[in-house]
Protein backbone atom coordinates (compact mmCIF):
# COMPACT_ATOMS: atom_id res chain seq x y z
CA UNK A 1 0.00 0.00 0.00
CA UNK A 2 2.15 2.79 -1.21
CA UNK A 3 1.25 6.29 -0.27
CA UNK A 4 0.91 8.95 -2.89
CA UNK A 5 3.82 11.28 -3.24
CA UNK A 6 3.27 14.78 -1.90
CA UNK A 7 2.24 17.45 -4.36
CA UNK A 8 4.26 20.63 -4.33
CA UNK A 9 3.29 24.03 -5.57
CA UNK A 10 5.59 27.02 -5.64
CA UNK A 11 4.52 30.61 -5.17
CA UNK A 12 6.57 33.47 -6.49
CA UNK A 13 6.42 35.33 -3.25
CA UNK A 14 7.04 34.57 0.32
CA UNK A 15 3.92 33.54 2.17
CA UNK A 16 2.66 32.90 5.66
CA UNK A 17 -1.12 32.89 5.38
CA UNK A 18 -2.94 29.69 4.54
CA UNK A 19 -6.51 28.54 5.03
CA UNK A 20 -8.83 25.91 3.68
CA UNK A 21 -11.92 27.25 1.98
CA UNK A 22 -14.15 26.36 4.86
CA UNK A 23 -17.50 26.67 3.11
CA UNK A 24 -16.41 24.45 0.25
CA UNK A 25 -17.06 20.80 1.03
CA UNK A 26 -16.74 19.22 -2.40
CA UNK A 27 -13.56 20.53 -3.88
CA UNK A 28 -10.25 20.43 -2.08
CA UNK A 29 -9.37 24.07 -2.05
CA UNK A 30 -6.86 26.14 -0.13
CA UNK A 31 -6.28 29.86 -0.05
CA UNK A 32 -2.79 31.28 0.29
CA UNK A 33 -1.92 34.90 0.90
CA UNK A 34 1.49 36.23 -0.13
CA UNK A 35 3.87 38.67 1.48
CA UNK A 36 5.64 41.10 -0.72
CA UNK A 37 6.58 44.65 0.07
CA UNK A 38 7.27 45.72 -3.45
CA UNK A 39 4.70 44.07 -5.60
CA UNK A 40 0.99 43.59 -5.47
CA UNK A 41 0.16 40.80 -3.14
CA UNK A 42 -1.94 37.93 -4.29
CA UNK A 43 -4.33 35.37 -3.03
CA UNK A 44 -3.72 32.03 -4.63
CA UNK A 45 -6.69 29.76 -4.83
CA UNK A 46 -5.27 26.28 -4.96
CA UNK A 47 -7.56 23.55 -6.20
CA UNK A 48 -6.37 20.03 -5.82
CA UNK A 49 -7.65 17.35 -8.12
CA UNK A 50 -7.40 14.31 -5.94
CA UNK A 51 -7.93 11.78 -8.69
CA UNK A 52 -5.35 13.09 -11.09
CA UNK A 53 -3.01 14.50 -8.49
CA UNK A 54 -3.04 17.85 -10.27
CA UNK A 55 -3.09 21.35 -8.86
CA UNK A 56 -5.09 24.13 -10.44
CA UNK A 57 -4.37 27.61 -9.34
CA UNK A 58 -6.16 30.89 -9.63
CA UNK A 59 -4.73 34.17 -8.57
CA UNK A 60 -6.60 37.14 -7.22
CA UNK A 61 -4.94 40.43 -6.49
CA UNK A 62 -4.88 41.77 -2.97
CA UNK A 63 -3.52 45.22 -3.52
CA UNK A 64 -3.99 46.52 -0.02
CA UNK A 65 -0.75 45.04 1.33
CA UNK A 66 1.11 41.98 2.43
CA UNK A 67 -1.06 39.34 3.97
CA UNK A 68 -0.29 38.06 7.50
CA UNK A 69 -3.44 36.14 8.15
CA UNK A 70 -6.27 34.84 6.09
CA UNK A 71 -9.65 33.40 7.05
CA UNK A 72 -12.42 31.95 4.92
CA UNK A 73 -16.08 32.42 5.71
CA UNK A 74 -17.81 29.26 6.86
CA UNK A 75 -21.00 30.22 5.07
CA UNK A 76 -20.09 31.90 1.82
CA UNK A 77 -17.39 30.40 -0.35
CA UNK A 78 -16.58 33.71 -1.90
CA UNK A 79 -16.07 35.68 1.29
CA UNK A 80 -12.81 35.84 3.18
CA UNK A 81 -10.98 38.03 5.63
CA UNK A 82 -7.36 39.06 5.63
CA UNK A 83 -5.06 40.83 8.01
CA UNK A 84 -2.51 42.83 6.11
CA UNK A 85 0.21 45.39 6.52
CA UNK A 86 -0.15 48.65 4.75
CA UNK A 87 2.85 50.89 4.37
CA UNK A 88 2.36 54.54 3.89
CA UNK A 89 4.69 57.40 4.56
CA UNK A 90 7.26 55.06 6.08
CA UNK A 91 4.73 53.82 8.50
CA UNK A 92 3.55 50.27 8.69
CA UNK A 93 -0.04 49.76 9.78
CA UNK A 94 -1.80 46.46 10.31
CA UNK A 95 -5.37 46.32 9.08
CA UNK A 96 -8.12 43.77 8.65
CA UNK A 97 -10.81 43.61 6.03
CA UNK A 98 -13.57 41.41 4.62
CA UNK A 99 -13.32 40.65 0.91
CA UNK A 100 -15.36 39.00 -1.74
CA UNK A 101 -13.89 37.10 -4.64
CA UNK A 102 -15.10 38.15 -8.04
CA UNK A 103 -17.93 35.86 -9.11
CA UNK A 104 -16.32 34.71 -12.32
CA UNK A 105 -12.84 33.86 -11.08
CA UNK A 106 -13.49 30.19 -11.55
CA UNK A 107 -14.84 30.26 -15.03
CA UNK A 108 -12.13 32.65 -16.12
CA UNK A 109 -9.41 30.34 -15.04
CA UNK A 110 -10.80 27.45 -17.01
CA UNK A 111 -11.00 29.31 -20.20
CA UNK A 112 -7.56 30.80 -20.18
CA UNK A 113 -5.36 29.66 -17.36
CA UNK A 114 -2.36 31.49 -18.74
CA UNK A 115 -4.16 34.77 -18.87
CA UNK A 116 -5.21 34.59 -15.30
CA UNK A 117 -1.62 34.63 -14.20
CA UNK A 118 -0.93 37.75 -16.14
CA UNK A 119 -4.16 39.55 -15.70
CA UNK A 120 -5.44 38.52 -12.36
CA UNK A 121 -8.73 39.77 -11.13
CA UNK A 122 -8.92 41.84 -8.03
CA UNK A 123 -10.66 41.09 -4.76
CA UNK A 124 -13.69 43.15 -4.02
CA UNK A 125 -13.54 44.95 -0.69
CA UNK A 126 -16.65 44.46 1.40
CA UNK A 127 -15.73 46.32 4.53
CA UNK A 128 -12.86 47.21 6.83
CA UNK A 129 -12.67 45.69 10.24
CA UNK A 130 -10.99 48.66 11.78
CA UNK A 131 -12.05 51.54 13.82
CA UNK A 132 -9.91 54.41 14.86
CA UNK A 133 -9.47 53.19 18.42
CA UNK A 134 -8.38 49.68 17.59
CA UNK A 135 -5.82 48.92 14.97
CA UNK A 136 -3.02 46.42 14.41
CA UNK A 137 -5.17 43.38 13.85
CA UNK A 138 -3.28 40.13 14.43
CA UNK A 139 -5.96 37.81 13.16
CA UNK A 140 -9.62 37.57 12.27
CA UNK A 141 -11.71 34.60 13.32
CA UNK A 142 -14.98 33.54 11.75
CA UNK A 143 -17.70 32.09 13.87
CA UNK A 144 -17.25 28.35 13.38
CA UNK A 145 -20.13 26.73 11.54
CA UNK A 146 -21.95 30.02 11.72
CA UNK A 147 -23.87 31.90 9.06
CA UNK A 148 -20.95 34.11 8.23
CA UNK A 149 -22.33 37.06 10.10
CA UNK A 150 -20.02 37.22 13.04
CA UNK A 151 -16.27 37.62 13.20
CA UNK A 152 -13.80 38.38 15.93
CA UNK A 153 -10.70 40.37 15.31
CA UNK A 154 -7.79 40.46 17.67
CA UNK A 155 -6.08 43.81 17.68
CA UNK A 156 -3.32 44.67 20.14
CA UNK A 157 -4.92 43.93 23.50
CA UNK A 158 -8.54 44.01 22.33
CA UNK A 159 -10.82 41.30 21.09
CA UNK A 160 -13.56 42.83 18.95
CA UNK A 161 -16.73 41.00 18.08
CA UNK A 162 -18.14 42.30 14.77
CA UNK A 163 -21.56 41.89 13.28
CA UNK A 164 -21.55 41.88 9.51
CA UNK A 165 -24.63 43.30 7.91
CA UNK A 166 -25.92 44.06 4.49
CA UNK A 167 -24.22 41.10 2.85
CA UNK A 168 -21.11 41.79 4.85
CA UNK A 169 -20.70 45.27 3.53
CA UNK A 170 -21.14 46.84 6.90
CA UNK A 171 -19.41 45.85 10.04
CA UNK A 172 -20.20 47.11 13.50
CA UNK A 173 -18.50 46.27 16.73
CA UNK A 174 -21.06 44.62 18.95
CA UNK A 175 -18.84 44.03 21.95
CA UNK A 176 -15.22 44.16 22.99
CA UNK A 177 -13.00 42.53 25.52
CA UNK A 178 -9.78 44.08 26.66
CA UNK A 179 -6.76 42.37 28.05
CA UNK A 180 -5.49 44.29 30.99
CA UNK A 181 -2.26 44.02 32.83
CA UNK A 182 1.22 45.37 33.15
CA UNK A 183 3.21 46.29 30.13
CA UNK A 184 2.16 46.30 26.52
CA UNK A 185 0.00 43.25 26.20
CA UNK A 186 -0.81 42.01 22.77
CA UNK A 187 -2.85 39.13 21.45
CA UNK A 188 -0.75 36.96 19.19
CA UNK A 189 -3.30 34.41 18.17
CA UNK A 190 -6.74 33.06 18.97
CA UNK A 191 -9.37 30.49 18.23
CA UNK A 192 -13.13 30.56 18.35
CA UNK A 193 -14.42 27.47 20.07
CA UNK A 194 -16.97 25.44 18.07
CA UNK A 195 -18.49 24.13 21.30
CA UNK A 196 -20.91 25.68 23.79
CA UNK A 197 -22.93 27.29 21.04
CA UNK A 198 -19.87 29.13 19.86
CA UNK A 199 -19.83 31.26 22.97
CA UNK A 200 -16.19 30.83 23.84
CA UNK A 201 -12.97 32.19 22.53
CA UNK A 202 -9.41 31.27 23.39
CA UNK A 203 -6.59 33.72 22.91
CA UNK A 204 -2.85 33.66 23.33
CA UNK A 205 -0.69 36.48 24.53
CA UNK A 206 2.94 36.03 25.38
CA UNK A 207 3.13 32.77 27.35
CA UNK A 208 -0.48 32.70 28.53
CA UNK A 209 -3.64 31.23 27.11
CA UNK A 210 -6.94 32.82 28.08
CA UNK A 211 -10.49 31.73 27.62
CA UNK A 212 -13.29 34.28 27.10
CA UNK A 213 -17.03 34.06 27.33
CA UNK A 214 -18.38 35.98 24.37
CA UNK A 215 -21.77 36.60 25.96
CA UNK A 216 -20.25 38.65 28.75
CA UNK A 217 -16.90 39.32 27.11
CA UNK A 218 -15.15 38.31 30.28
CA UNK A 219 -12.29 36.00 30.97
CA UNK A 220 -13.28 32.49 32.07
CA UNK A 221 -9.98 30.77 32.45
CA UNK A 222 -6.33 31.56 32.13
CA UNK A 223 -3.42 29.21 31.64
CA UNK A 224 -0.47 31.24 32.85
CA UNK A 225 2.85 30.07 31.47
CA UNK A 226 1.22 27.61 29.17
CA UNK A 227 4.49 27.54 27.29
CA UNK A 228 7.97 28.48 28.35
CA UNK A 229 8.10 30.98 25.52
CA UNK A 230 5.62 32.71 23.31
CA UNK A 231 2.44 30.82 22.46
CA UNK A 232 2.13 30.77 18.68
CA UNK A 233 -1.12 29.00 17.94
CA UNK A 234 -4.16 27.27 19.40
CA UNK A 235 -6.76 24.84 18.23
CA UNK A 236 -9.85 23.32 19.76
CA UNK A 237 -10.52 19.62 19.65
CA UNK A 238 -13.57 19.44 17.35
CA UNK A 239 -15.10 16.57 19.32
CA UNK A 240 -14.09 17.12 22.90
CA UNK A 241 -15.32 20.42 24.15
CA UNK A 242 -12.75 21.02 26.91
CA UNK A 243 -9.70 19.95 25.00
CA UNK A 244 -7.38 22.50 23.52
CA UNK A 245 -4.03 22.18 21.77
CA UNK A 246 -1.39 24.87 21.87
CA UNK A 247 2.09 25.30 20.50
CA UNK A 248 4.88 27.78 20.98
CA UNK A 249 8.48 28.84 20.94
CA UNK A 250 9.54 26.22 23.48
CA UNK A 251 9.29 23.65 20.66
CA UNK A 252 6.44 21.99 22.45
CA UNK A 253 2.90 21.09 21.58
CA UNK A 254 0.67 20.88 24.61
CA UNK A 255 -2.78 19.51 25.07
CA UNK A 256 -4.95 21.04 27.75
CA UNK A 257 -8.12 20.22 29.51
CA UNK A 258 -9.33 23.73 30.27
CA UNK A 259 -11.05 22.51 33.42
CA UNK A 260 -7.61 21.93 34.88
CA UNK A 261 -5.23 24.65 33.84
CA UNK A 262 -2.40 23.66 36.17
CA UNK A 263 -0.93 20.88 34.08
CA UNK A 264 -1.19 19.98 30.42
CA UNK A 265 -2.81 16.64 29.70
CA UNK A 266 -0.05 15.82 27.33
CA UNK A 267 3.05 17.47 26.04
CA UNK A 268 4.95 16.68 22.86
CA UNK A 269 8.44 17.79 22.04
CA UNK A 270 9.14 16.48 18.59
CA UNK A 271 10.13 19.66 16.82
CA UNK A 272 13.56 21.13 17.04
CA UNK A 273 12.44 24.72 16.72
CA UNK A 274 9.43 26.92 17.39
CA UNK A 275 6.08 25.41 16.55
CA UNK A 276 3.97 27.90 14.61
CA UNK A 277 0.80 26.06 13.95
CA UNK A 278 -1.23 23.23 15.43
CA UNK A 279 -4.37 21.81 13.82
CA UNK A 280 -6.75 19.04 14.83
CA UNK A 281 -8.23 16.98 12.07
CA UNK A 282 -11.85 18.05 11.72
CA UNK A 283 -13.32 14.58 12.03
CA UNK A 284 -10.66 12.34 13.52
CA UNK A 285 -9.33 14.32 16.39
CA UNK A 286 -6.49 11.94 17.13
CA UNK A 287 -4.71 13.33 14.08
CA UNK A 288 -2.83 16.46 14.95
CA UNK A 289 -0.76 18.45 12.51
CA UNK A 290 2.04 20.71 13.66
CA UNK A 291 4.23 23.03 11.61
CA UNK A 292 7.52 24.39 12.79
CA UNK A 293 10.33 26.68 11.79
CA UNK A 294 12.63 23.65 11.81
CA UNK A 295 11.15 23.23 8.28
CA UNK A 296 9.23 20.17 9.32
CA UNK A 297 5.62 19.21 9.43
CA UNK A 298 4.67 16.49 11.86
CA UNK A 299 1.52 14.43 11.88
CA UNK A 300 0.88 12.87 15.28
CA UNK A 301 -1.62 10.27 16.30
CA UNK A 302 -2.80 11.28 19.76
CA UNK A 303 -5.07 8.35 20.43
CA UNK A 304 -5.02 8.48 24.20
CA UNK A 305 -6.60 11.91 24.44
CA UNK A 306 -8.86 11.70 21.42
CA UNK A 307 -12.59 11.19 21.43
CA UNK A 308 -11.99 7.62 20.29
CA UNK A 309 -9.36 6.45 22.74
CA UNK A 310 -10.16 2.78 22.14
CA UNK A 311 -10.21 2.98 18.41
CA UNK A 312 -13.31 2.94 16.26
CA UNK A 313 -16.13 1.35 18.24
CA UNK A 314 -18.23 -1.11 16.32
CA UNK A 315 -21.56 -2.43 17.54
CA UNK A 316 -21.46 -6.08 18.37
CA UNK A 317 -24.60 -6.75 16.37
CA UNK A 318 -22.96 -5.65 13.20
CA UNK A 319 -20.30 -8.22 13.58
CA UNK A 320 -20.37 -11.83 12.59
CA UNK A 321 -18.43 -14.32 14.69
CA UNK A 322 -15.29 -14.21 12.68
CA UNK A 323 -15.15 -10.48 12.71
CA UNK A 324 -15.82 -10.52 16.39
CA UNK A 325 -12.61 -12.37 17.06
CA UNK A 326 -10.78 -10.08 14.77
CA UNK A 327 -12.16 -7.11 16.64
CA UNK A 328 -10.99 -8.52 19.92
CA UNK A 329 -7.50 -8.89 18.60
CA UNK A 330 -7.53 -5.34 17.51
CA UNK A 331 -8.77 -3.99 20.79
CA UNK A 332 -5.94 -5.74 22.55
CA UNK A 333 -3.44 -3.81 20.51
CA UNK A 334 -2.14 -1.03 22.70
CA UNK A 335 -3.16 2.24 21.24
CA UNK A 336 -0.24 4.49 21.78
CA UNK A 337 0.30 8.10 20.99
CA UNK A 338 2.86 8.28 18.27
CA UNK A 339 4.31 10.40 15.56
CA UNK A 340 2.75 9.14 12.37
CA UNK A 341 5.00 10.87 9.99
CA UNK A 342 7.47 13.69 9.65
CA UNK A 343 7.29 15.58 6.38
CA UNK A 344 10.50 17.12 5.19
CA UNK A 345 9.52 18.56 1.85
CA UNK A 346 9.97 22.12 3.04
CA UNK A 347 13.29 23.87 3.08
CA UNK A 348 12.31 26.95 4.97
CA UNK A 349 10.30 27.57 8.11
CA UNK A 350 6.78 26.22 7.86
CA UNK A 351 4.43 28.80 9.31
CA UNK A 352 1.08 27.31 8.47
CA UNK A 353 -0.61 23.97 8.03
CA UNK A 354 -4.29 23.28 7.37
CA UNK A 355 -6.54 20.27 6.92
CA UNK A 356 -8.74 20.29 3.89
CA UNK A 357 -12.38 20.98 4.63
CA UNK A 358 -13.50 18.58 1.92
CA UNK A 359 -11.25 15.57 2.38
CA UNK A 360 -10.42 14.70 6.00
CA UNK A 361 -7.32 12.75 4.96
CA UNK A 362 -5.64 15.59 3.15
CA UNK A 363 -3.71 18.59 4.36
CA UNK A 364 -1.59 21.44 3.08
CA UNK A 365 1.40 23.17 4.56
CA UNK A 366 3.05 26.43 3.58
CA UNK A 367 6.62 27.45 4.12
CA UNK A 368 8.03 30.95 4.04
CA UNK A 369 9.76 30.48 0.71
CA UNK A 370 6.32 30.13 -0.88
CA UNK A 371 6.23 26.38 -1.14
CA UNK A 372 2.85 24.77 -0.62
CA UNK A 373 2.89 21.03 -0.06
CA UNK A 374 -0.22 18.88 -0.16
CA UNK A 375 0.02 15.59 1.67
CA UNK A 376 -2.25 12.78 2.69
CA UNK A 377 -2.54 10.75 5.86
CA UNK A 378 -0.73 7.45 5.24
CA UNK A 379 -3.14 4.86 3.96
CA UNK A 380 -2.23 2.29 6.57
CA UNK A 381 -3.25 4.65 9.33
CA UNK A 382 -6.33 5.80 7.46
CA UNK A 383 -7.61 2.25 7.15
CA UNK A 384 -6.77 1.50 10.74
CA UNK A 385 -8.86 4.42 11.86
CA UNK A 386 -11.70 3.62 9.52
CA UNK A 387 -11.88 -0.14 9.95
Partner 1 sequence: VLFLFVCSPSPCSFHWIRKAEEQPESLDPCDINGPHFDPELFLNKLRRECSLAELMDQETCMVKQIRSLDSDMQTLVYENYNKFISATDTIRKMKNDFKKMEDEMDCLSANMAAITEFSARISGTLQDQHAQITKLSGVHTLLRKLQFLFELPARLNKCLELQAYAQAVRSHRRARCVLQQYSHLPSFKGIQDDCHAIMDKLAQELRQKFRDGGSSAKDLSECVELLLQLDEPAEELCDKFLSHAQSRLESDLQGLEAEIRPYPTIPSPTSNTDILEFIDRGCNEFVSSLCLVITSYQELFINHAQKGELLNAFVDDLAARYFSLVERRIQEEKGVADNSLLVRALDRFHRRLQAVTKLLPGSAVPNQGTEIVIRAATERVKQYLSALQSFYMDSLTDVRQALATPRDAPNSLPELLSSLSASILNQIKSVLASVHLFTAKDITFSNKPYFKGEFCSQGVRESLVVSFIKFVCQSSRQFCESAGDKGGSTPPALLLLLSRLCLDYETSTISYILTLTDEQFLVQHHSPVTPVTTLCAEAREAAQKLLNHYVKVQGLIISQMLRKSVETRDWVNTIEPRNVRAVMKRVVEDTTSIDVQVGLLYEEGVRKAHSSDSSKRTFSVYSSSRQQARYAASYTPSAPMDTNLLSNIHKLFSERIDIFSSVEFNKVSVMTGIIKISLKTFLECVRLRTFGRYGLQQIQVDCHYLQMYLWRFVSDENLVHFMLDEIVGSSAHRCLDPAPMEQSVIEVICERG
Binding mask 137-156 for partner 1 (x = CB under 8 A): --------------------
Question: Which CB atom, from 234 or from 251, has the smaller least distance to partner 1?
Answer: 251
Q: Tell me the number of residues near partner 1 by CB under 8 A.
A: 32
- The H or E element containing residue 379 is helix 379-386
**Is residue 176 a contact point for partner 1 (CB under 8 A)?**
no
Q: Which residues contact 106 (CB under 8 A, 6 or more apart)?
A: 58
Contact window for partner 1 (CB under 8 A) among 73-81, 84-92, 209-217, 306-314: 84-92
- Contact map string, positions 192 to 221, toward partner 1, x by CB under 8 A: ------------------------------
356 part of the interface to partner 1, by CB under 8 A: no
User: Closest Cα to residue 137, out of 157, 160, 154, 118?
Assistant: 154
- Range in contact with partner 1 (rule: CB under 8 A) among 172-180, 195-203, 210-218, 346-354: 346-354
Q: Which is nearer to partner 1, 23 or 352 (CB)?
A: 352
> Is the Cβ–Cβ distance between 286 and 240 less than 8 Å?
no
Per CB under 8 A, does 332 bind partner 1? no
Distance of closest approach, residue 369 Cβ to partner 1, in angstroms: 6
Say if residues 353 and 366 touch (Cβ distance below 8 Å). Answer: yes
Is 233 a binding residue for partner 1 by CB under 8 A? The answer is no
Is residue 115 involved in binding partner 1 (CB under 8 A)? no
Residue 371 as a binder of partner 1 (CB under 8 A): the answer is yes
What is the nearest approach in angstroms of partner 1 to the Cβ of residue 206? 12
Q: Which is nearer to partner 1, 150 or 186 (CB)?
A: 186
Contact 101, 60 (CB under 8 A): yes
Of 1, 2, 10, 51, the residue at the interface with partner 1 (CB under 8 A) is: 10
Q: Which is nearer to partner 1, 157 or 295 (CB)?
A: 295
29-58 positions binding partner 1, by CB under 8 A: 37-39
- With CB under 8 A as the contact rule, the residue among 12, 49, 147, 163 that binds partner 1 is 12
105 torsion bin: left (phi>0), alpha (psi -120 to 50), beta (else): alpha
With respect to partner 1, which residue has the nearer C-beta, 77 or 254? 254
What are the residues whose beta carbons fall under 8 Å from the beta carbon of 384, sequence distance 6 or more? Answer: 311
Quote helix, strand, coil % in the chain, to nearest 5: 10, 50, 40
Could you say which of 84, 162, 255, 368 contacts partner 1 (CB under 8 A)?
Answer: 368
Distance CA 208, CA 225 (A): 5
Q: Are 204 and 190 in contact (CB under 8 A)?
A: yes
Closer residue to partner 1 (CB): 221 or 368 = 368
Give the count of alpha carbons within 13 A of 245, CB side only: 27
Measured from the CB atom, is 49 or 344 closer to partner 1?
344
For the chain, the first-to-last Cα distance in angstroms comes to 15
The DSSP output letter for 387 is -
The answer to whether residues 34 and 44 touch, using CB atoms and an 8 Å cutoff, is yes
Find the shortest distance in angstroms from Cβ 345 to partner 1.
Answer: 12
Task: Round the CA-based radius of gyration of the chain to a whole number and report it.
Answer: 21
Range 281-320, binding partner 1 (CB under 8 A) = 293-295
Are the C-beta atoms of residues 79 and 100 closer than 8 Å to each other?
A: yes
CA 283 to chain centroid, in Å, comes to 14
Q: Which residues of this protein are in contact with partner 1, per CB under 8 A? A: 10, 12-14, 37-39, 85, 87, 90-92, 225, 227-229, 250-251, 272-274, 293-295, 344, 347-349, 368-371
Amino acid sequence: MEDDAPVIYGLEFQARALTAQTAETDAIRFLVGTQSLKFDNQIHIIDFDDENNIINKNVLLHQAGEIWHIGASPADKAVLTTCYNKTSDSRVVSCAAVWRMPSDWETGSHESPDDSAHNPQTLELLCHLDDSAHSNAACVLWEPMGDGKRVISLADNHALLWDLQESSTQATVSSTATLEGKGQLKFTSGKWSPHHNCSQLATANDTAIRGWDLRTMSQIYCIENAHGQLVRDLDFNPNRQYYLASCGDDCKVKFWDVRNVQEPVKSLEEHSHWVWSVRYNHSHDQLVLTASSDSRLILSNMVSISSEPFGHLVDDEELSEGEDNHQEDKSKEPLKDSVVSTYEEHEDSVYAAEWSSADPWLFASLSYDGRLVINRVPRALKYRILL
